[in-house]
Amino acid sequence: SSLMHAKHTTVGLITTLVYAKVSDLGIQVSLSTGRAAQGCRAIIDQLSLDGYHIFFDGALVSNPSLGEEVYVQPLDSGVVREAVEFVHRNDIYLELYSATRYFVERETWATEIHRQYFKLEPTVVDFTELWNRERIIKGGLITSTPQEMAKARSFYIQFDPSLHFSRARSPAYPGVDFINVVAPEVSKGKALAALASHLGISMTEVMAVGDGTNDISLLSLAGLAVAMDNAPAEVKAVAHYITLDVEHSGLAAAIRQFLL
How confident is the model over 6-32, as pLDDT tens digits?
554 456 666 777 777 888 888 899 999
Q: Which CATH number belongs to the domain containing residue 105 in this structure? A: 3.30.1240.10
Domain assignment present for 120: yes
Sign of CA dihedral 188, 138, 29, 64: positive
First and final C-alpha spacing in the chain: 23
Domain assignment present for 202: no
Q: Which residues, in sequence order, are CB contacts of 188 under 8 Å at separation 6+?
A: 32, 54, 57, 58, 210, 214, 215, 217, 218
pLDDT band of 4, cuts 50, 70, 90? low
Domain count, the chain: 1
User: pLDDT tens, 68-78?
Assistant: 999 999 999 99
| Residue 160: exposure state from Cβ atoms within 10 A (0-12, 13-18, ≥19) | exposed
Domain assignment present for 101: yes
Residue 83 has pLDDT above 90, yes or no: yes
Domain assignment present for 238: no
Q: What is the pLDDT of residue 242?
A: 98
Q: What is the pLDDT of residue 122?
A: 96
Structural domain for 136, as ranges: 77-182
Domain assignment present for 191: no
pLDDT band of 176, cuts 50, 70, 90? very high
Single-letter amino acid, residue 233:
A
Helices (H), 47-106: 77-90
